[in-house]
Structures are given as C-alpha cells and as structure tokens.
Structure 1
Amino acid sequence: MGYENDLKQYRASISLYTPTPTNSSITLVKTALTGLSMIYKEGYNYKKAGIIALKLTPAKEKQFKLFLEENPEHEQLMKVVDQLNFRENGKVKFGGQDLGRTWRIKQEKLSNRFSTRLNEIIQVKNANI
C-alpha cells in the first residue's frame, strides 16, 4: 500500500528521555507509548512510526543516579527474553506489539555484517597474481 496523497496528512515528533539509562525493552516501550499518546491525533491514518535512540553507551559504563535506579528485575527478564528470541527466532513479544505483523523493514540496501555473521564474511580468492 503506497502513501495516499488525498488523505489528511499529519506529521509530528517528540523527544523523551528515560528516567535512568536503560537497555530494558519494558522501559523503552513504556516511553515510546507515552510519546505516542502525547502526539497522537484522532482522525488520521498512520503509516508508520519510528524511534531514534540517542546517547548510547555500553551497559558497563552506565552512570547511576543517586535516588533513581532502573528496576533490577528488568535486567534478568531481558536476558531471558533475548535468549528465547535468539533460540525461537523472535517469538517473544510485548503486549503492545502486533503478534500477527506481516510487514518487515525494507532491507534492500542493508550492509553486510562481516564482523557478526560468518556466512557474510569477506572471502578473497586467489587471483593468480
């Protein structure tokens, strides 16, 4: 389905921050839904939405706050979810996710993942130089 120019158009964006540094999908989904509720307008057909994550740092370098901290149960839960999704090809989803989703991100121009996928590693063949 292409974008239909005869329909009412609306575009908005919002920047939100999590209360503490996080790699918890639970916290990220809650934050995304909060942002959506702030910019959503009734009467428009939405095509898609996106999230841009900024200020990414390794989990080992996380700066803690004195009085706020991420829910410690999230870390163990996210490890289990990640393990299940790795083994079961992404079968574990959060309640707000569409379980019957049939669309996928367009990946026609996806770069090779030489350093993370052995089947995409660069191969040099002897050219009889």
Structure 2
Amino acid sequence: MLVQVLVVLVALWLLFFAARQKASAVSALKKIGISLLAVVMVITVLFPSLTTTLANLLGIGRGADLLLYGLAATFVVYAITQYARAQANRRVLFGLARRIALRDARARYFPGDRP
C-alpha cells in the first residue's frame, strides 16, 4: 500500500514537473511523453490486473513481463537517442575548435590580415 501511494505521488510530481517547464526547455513532445508516463503509472498502480489482461492479449504471460519489456525497449531508445545527441554535439565541438584554431593561426601568422 505504501509503495502504491509513493508511485502515485511520483506520478503527480511528474505531471507538475512537466507543466512547470518553460516551452524552450522542454519540447511539447517531451511534455506529452512525461504526462503519458504519469498517467500509465497511476493506472498500473490502481488497476494492476489491467496490465496482466493487456499482456495476455499481446501473448505475454504476465503483466510484470509486459512492463519489463516496455522498460527495456524504452531504455534502448533512450540509449540510441543519447548516443546520436552526443555524436551531434561532438561534431559541433570539433567544428568550433577547428574555427578557433584557424582564426588563431591567421592572427598569429598574418597579423595584418582582416577576416
């Protein structure tokens, strides 16, 4: 019972967190995703047999297995997204470092040259 109350409180905090973020900080898609996660958390806590029913419809034995598969898939998507973001940031950083190096070299070896 205590765990269920804690999960519902965390879900409510997620909804509050999503609602309080500025538009520039979090995209609308992320806000929708966080809100859906909170709603699913509350539903699975209040109606645990619903996950088992849904799992059986999908050919999965237990509702806990369905939640585990969903968590694993979510983690893989998150890991791939973070890797792609890191690669994009690395490309931007290398481009900026290259520009700075060329600018500094031009200033050092061609002091009268204006870019």
TM-score normalized with structure 1 length: 0.20
Larger radius of gyration: 2
With CA pairs under 8 Å and 6+ residues apart, which has the higher RCO, 1 or 2?
1
Higher helix share: 2
